[in-house]
Amino acid sequence: MRLRALMALVPLSLAVVLMGAAPAAVAQDTGWIRWGNWSPSAPDFDIYLKSFGGSGNATVIKHVRYGDVSSYTAIPMGQYTIAMRDAGAAPTSPPMLSASVQVAPGTAYTIVSMGPASHLGVQVLKETMRSSPDKALVRVVQESVQQHRVTVNNGSRTLGGPLRLGSYTG
């Protein structure tokens, strides 16, 4: 299994994500989730995931910095609230960013902050995890706040685009 974010390119801040096979040993009622901070001018975040059903404690990831992308974590299927707070803020304080994600079994998601500090956003990317045995999947996410549209080329071949902020190749 080889799942990791390669980098966030500067100044384009294009997040290029390599995706191999699906995570191993996927339980029937489990999905996969990872998170990142792709907002160049945003502060460090603490990210909270809390189940709608209230079961268990919230999943908390502390001090997520710009450019960070975590590895995948298994998580029970279901609906979750996502709250991103300034690093060190009280868990009961109002979040800076809110969103929700429905985790389906066997499916992987990437949750990231995006945009400039004045227009922060949350994005949930549902990842495509299956490829041919001898190939890897590459997804390019346009998270640049300086370039309005970006086209992704491999030599003379256009892989995707023009991509706006928050959009990505298939």
Q: Is residue 132 close enough to count as binding other proteins by CB under 8 A?
A: no
Do residues 139 and 131 touch, judged by C-beta distance below 8 A?
A: no
Out of 52, 136, 146, 162, point to the residue binding other proteins (CB under 8 A).
52
Q: Which stretch binds other proteins (CB under 8 A): 4-12, 49-57, 65-73, 141-149?
A: 49-57
**Footprint of other proteins on 102-121 (CB under 8 A):** 102, 109, 114-115, 119-121
Amino acid identity of residue 156, one-letter, is S
Q: Is residue 147 close enough to count as binding other proteins by CB under 8 A?
A: no
Do residues 145 and 113 touch, judged by C-beta distance below 8 A?
A: no
B/e letters for 17-52, b = 16+ CB within 10 Å, e = fewer, are bebbebbeebeeebbbbbbbbbbbebbebbbbbbbe
Contact residues toward other proteins (CB under 8 A) are 50-55, 58, 78-79, 81, 83, 91-92, 94-102, 109, 114-115, 119-126, 166
